[in-house]
Structure 1
Amino acid sequence: MGFSGDNLKGFILALLSSGFIGASFIIKKKGLRRAAAASGVRAGVGGYSYLLEPLWWLGMITMIVGEVANFVAYAFAPAVLVTPLGALSIIVSAVLAHFILNEKLHQLGILGCVMCVAGSIIIVIHAPQEQPISSVQEIWSMATQPAFLLYVGSVIVLVFILVFYFAPQCGHTNVLVFTGICSLMGSLSVMSVKALGTSLKLTFEGKNQLIFPETWFFMFVVATCVITQMNYLNKASILLHNDVDGLLVTILWLPNLRRF
């Protein structure tokens, strides 16, 4: 695949996004630890004292900067190119966790990092050129295909089961519950972020997409996914305080909306 100008812009923005987001996990986790130590109530069991912790907000700002870069990257490059680059944030977090949080990366963690990077490189190298999109309504047409609607319905049902049944029962002891919620919501946010980013790009080019209700619907979905992911990511992060392998599990919820 030869990189077009837009693909190259998306590639660079996705790399910058991974750096900021990888660093934000470390900063936020340190803030979560401070908040838990000060209040005695961890985020993993329902505490929200981290909202008063400046270090947590610094991490949040760093993540927002990374997410903005990631958001813009989706407007320029195909999701299949941008999303895999989120795996690089794992390497950034692993290195910073070793030096800042004194966490230890075990052999399985190293293997996971290598596999993530190798997979990302393979996907990026073979990423296809994106077909031009002239309207948000084109994305809406693709998003309302029966197969995708079936997937969306399945995800929503699974999220409700995890949130209302498994989270109260075993969420505070099994981090896979919280990361599962984040991952499932993240899979929906990728489509919405791509749609919203494309809408704004077309609008700036003179083709106003804000007049279409589909644009605002995608914006609502993005906001819902982000709020849900941030809430349960904080719960997952505070549960994983023993070593960097646990931190890597938390980061892996990013399908790369990530992540937003």
Structure 2
Amino acid sequence: MADASGNIPSYKGMSSDNVKGLILALSSSFFIGASFIIKKKGLKKAGASGVRAGVGGYSYLYEPLWWAGMITMIVGEIANFAAYAFAPAILVTPLGALSIIISAVLAHIILQEKLHIFGILGCVLCVVGSTTIVLHAPPEREIESVREVWDLATEPGFLFYAFLVILAVFVLIIHFIPQYGQTHIMVYIGICSLVGSLSVMSVKALGIALKLTFSGTNQLIYPQTWTFTLVVAVCVVTQMNYLNKALDTFNTAVVSPIYYVMFTSFTILASIIMFKDWDRQDPSQIVTEMCGFVTILSGTFLLHKTKDMGDGMSSLSVRLSKYSEEDGFAPEDIPLRCPESFRSP
């Protein structure tokens, strides 16, 4: 709690700024995790009376509950942005994983969405892998001007990465969405994550510009600042559009962790390319980060298998119901037979 002067005291060796950053990061995780559930409720309500977002509808734009979810997410993102102003990334970024747990718990309580035990293990592996990568990431390089960020963004390495990202997004939108958008979660989430890696780099540049401007060095006079602002706007609109489609089509408890994992992975990759982070790392740190990626892949595999289990059980239930309706008895009356070799003597 704050003292009489309004300052937050330090706690167990943490500076007051770090405590502020910790509180903001925890608040951000709660708001972002809750926003997934509120938006899902809004999408369901809008889909009941209009065209669902998952099949190209935009009736959710007229649903107040969806806008409540959007506002909740914006509040969370603002809190997360502010947290970086007080605490280092090594403290703030891993706490973003808490939004996955909050989203899964609220989905279980509010939306009645079930997650298999292996899905829970997959979530844990995703969180551990992402945290491992973040905790062993190199410190951010010092940036003193938005023009310096622009120079980094226009180097051949990052321009090639940006070209590949834009090309992959167009291929996913034009070729894969019509065929696999309703059945493969990685299509929508892939678009959100790829575009998100570019938006974070632009957000960072914009944040640097605002910070320098507030400190007395005006960066708003440079066209690079407004270019980064435009990129942020386009990327955020694209992310929100396809994230809505993913939430409307698939289980929230699966969408949330996969989105977090892929978004974090592509963002770290973009940062490595743009800011050349690995130049300041020793081999042990790089190996540890690779182990984190393997852990993330393992968690994502378990989450996919969990979805397959759920789909399989749903299909079995439909087949049993159809079988019972055609033959005139209830599903519970159907005997479950096993081969003679599996029976007890």
Q: Same fold per TM (> 0.5)?
A: yes
Q: Which residue of 1 aligns with 2:264?
A: 255
Taking structure 1 as reference, are residues 70 and 3 closer, same or farther at Cα in structure 2, changes over 3 Å only? same
* 2:264 partner SS: coil
The code of the aligned residue for 2:258 comes to: V
CA distance in structure 2 between the aligned counterparts of 1:7 and 1:37, rounded to whole angstroms: 45
Q: Equivalent residue for 2:35?
A: 24
Q: Normalized against structure 2, the TM-score is what?
A: 0.67
Aligned residues: 255
Larger radius of gyration: 2
* Alpha carbons of structure 1 residues 140 and 70: separation in structure 2 relative to 1, 3 Å: same
CA shift in 2, pair 1:195/1:74, >3 Å: farther
Question: What residue number does 2:197 align with?
Answer: 187
Q: Which residue of 1 aligns with 2:154?
A: 144
The one-letter code of the counterpart of 1:31 is G
Larger displacement relative to structure 2 (89-98 or 165-174) = 165-174
- Tell whether 2:250 aligns with 1:240: yes
Q: Which residue does the alignment assign to 1:91?
A: 101
Deviations 1:228-247 (A, max 9, x none): 00000001111014x73355
The yes-or-no answer on 1:155 pairing with 2:165 is yes
Q: Secondary structure at the match of 1:134?
A: coil
Q: Which has the higher contact order (CA 8 A, sep 6+)?
A: 1
Show CA shifts across 1:75-127 (max 9, x none).
Answer: 55566664443322111101111111111121232122212332344345445
Q: CA deviation at 1:25?
A: 0.2
- Distance 1:253-1:125 versus aligned 2 partners, 3 A rule: closer
- Give structure 1 stretches of 5+ with no counterpart: none
Contact 1:82 1:256 in 2 (8 A): no
Q: 1:52 aligns with which of 38, 44, 62?
A: 62
Q: 1:108 to 1:217 in 2, by over 3 A?
A: farther
| 2:296 paired residue number | none
Amino acid at match of 1:30: K
* Kept in 1: contact 2:93–2:134 (CA 8 A): no
Report what 2:44 is aligned to.
33
Q: Which runs of 5+ in 2 are unaligned?
A: 1-12, 268-345
1:203 maps to what in 2?
A: 213
State yes or no: 1:133 paired with 2:143: yes
Tell which deviates more after alignment, 225-234 or 197-206. Answer: 197-206
Q: Partners of 1:9 and 1:256 in 2: how far apart?
A: 27
Q: What letter is aligned with 1:38?
A: S
Q: Considering only aligned residues, what root-mean-square deviation do their CA atoms show, in Å?
A: 2.7
Residue pair 1:109, 1:248 contacting (<8 A) in 2 also: no
1:130 alignment partner, SS class: coil
Contact 2:246-2:255 within 8 A present in 1 as well: no
Q: Could you tell me which residue of structure 2 aligns to residue 112 of structure 1?
A: 122
The SS at the match of 1:249 is helix
CA distance in 1: counterparts of 2:36 and 2:228, whole angstroms? 26
**2:328 corresponding residue in structure 1:** none
The equivalent of 1:71 in structure 2 is 81
Q: Distance in 2 between matches of 1:198 and 1:96?
A: 35
| Amino acid in structure 2 at the alignment position of 1:244 | A
1: distance between equivalents of 2:71 and 2:166?
28
Amino acid at match of 1:255: T
- Structure 1 residue 70: Cα displacement: 2.3
2:130/2:264 contact within 8 Å kept: no
Once the two structures are overlaid, the 10-residue window that deviates more, 186-195 or 170-179, is 170-179
